[in-house]
Amino acid sequence: MFRDREDAARQLAKQLQKLELHQPLVLAIPRGGVATGAELANALHAELDVVLARKLRSPSNSELAFGAIGENGEVYLDPVIERIAEVTDEYLEQERQRQIYEIEHRKKLYRKAKAAAEIAGRSIILTDDGIATGSTMFAAIAVVRRQNPHELIVAVPVAPADRVEKMRQLCDRFVCLVAPSDFNAVGEFYESFDQVEDDQVVQLLKKYTPIQPSTKN
C-alpha cells in the first residue's frame, strides 16, 4: 500500500537510480501519472514531459477500457474485452473520435506550458500511477517507439500480474513495485488517490521544464 502517488514514485525512483541513464526523460501519462512522473523527474534529475494516450471506453461501462488511442492516432485494441463489451464498428469509430478530441484539447493546454521534449536518442522512463488493463500504456509505448529512443523503460508502482510479461516484451526494461494476481483497480493500492486536475499538470510541467541557456548576438 502506498500513501499517495508521491510516496509510490519515491519508492520507484530508488529502483531507477540503480540504472545508467542517458539524458533521461520522464514521460508521464496524464493526468494521475504526471504526479508520479514529477517525483521521478525530481529524484532522477531528469526532464519531465507528457505522452498523451486515452482509453477507449466500453459502451456499457465507461470504467472498462477495451483499448486505447495514442496522441499519434494509433489505436490499441484488447480483443478479449472488445468482444465481451460487444463493441460495434460504429461505436468504435464514435469513441475514437471522442478521444481524439480530448487528446487535441489537452495537447493544446499542456503545450502552452511546455514544448514537446526531444525523445530520440534518450533514456525514456514512461510512467503512470499504475496499470489496470494496460491499454493506455500499450498505446503510449507505440507513440514513444516511433520516435527512436535510446531505450524505453516502463516504470509503474503497480500492475496486475497477468500484464507483466506483455509489458516486458514491449519495452527494454519493466520496473514495477507490486504485481498482484488479485487486482481490481489501481486506486485500491493507495491510501490517498485524489484526482489530478489539468491545472496541476500544467504547473508540474512548468516546474520541470529545463532552463534554456541564453544566447548572445
Q: Is residue 42 part of a domain?
A: yes
Number of domains composing the chain: 1
Residue 169: inside a domain, yes or no? Answer: yes
Q: Which domain holds residue 192?
A: 5-53+115-207
Instruction: Please write the tens of the pLDDT for every residue from 157-177.
Output: 999 999 999 999 999 999 999
Q: What is the CATH number of the domain that holds 185?
A: 3.40.50.2020
Residue 5: CB atoms within 10 A of its CB come to: 25
- DSSP conformation letters of 26-91: EEE-TTHHHHHHHHHHHHHT-EEEE--EEEEEPSS-TTSEEEEEETTS-EEE-HHHHHHTT--HHH
Residue 216, in any domain of the structure: no
Residue type, 29: I
**Res 10 pLDDT > 60:** yes
DSSP secondary structure, 119-155, as one string: -TTSEEEEE-S--SSSHHHHHHHHHHHTT--SEEEEE
In a domain, 32, yes or no: yes
pLDDT at 216: 44
What is the per-residue pLDDT for 211?
52
pLDDT per residue as tens digits for the range 26-51 = 999 999 999 999 999 999 999 999 99
On whether residue 167 sits in a domain, the answer given is: yes
Does residue 160 form part of some domain? yes
- Give the integer Cα–Cα distance in Å for 28 and 117: 12
Asked, for residue 109, whether it belongs to a domain, the answer is no
Q: How many residues are present in the chain? A: 217
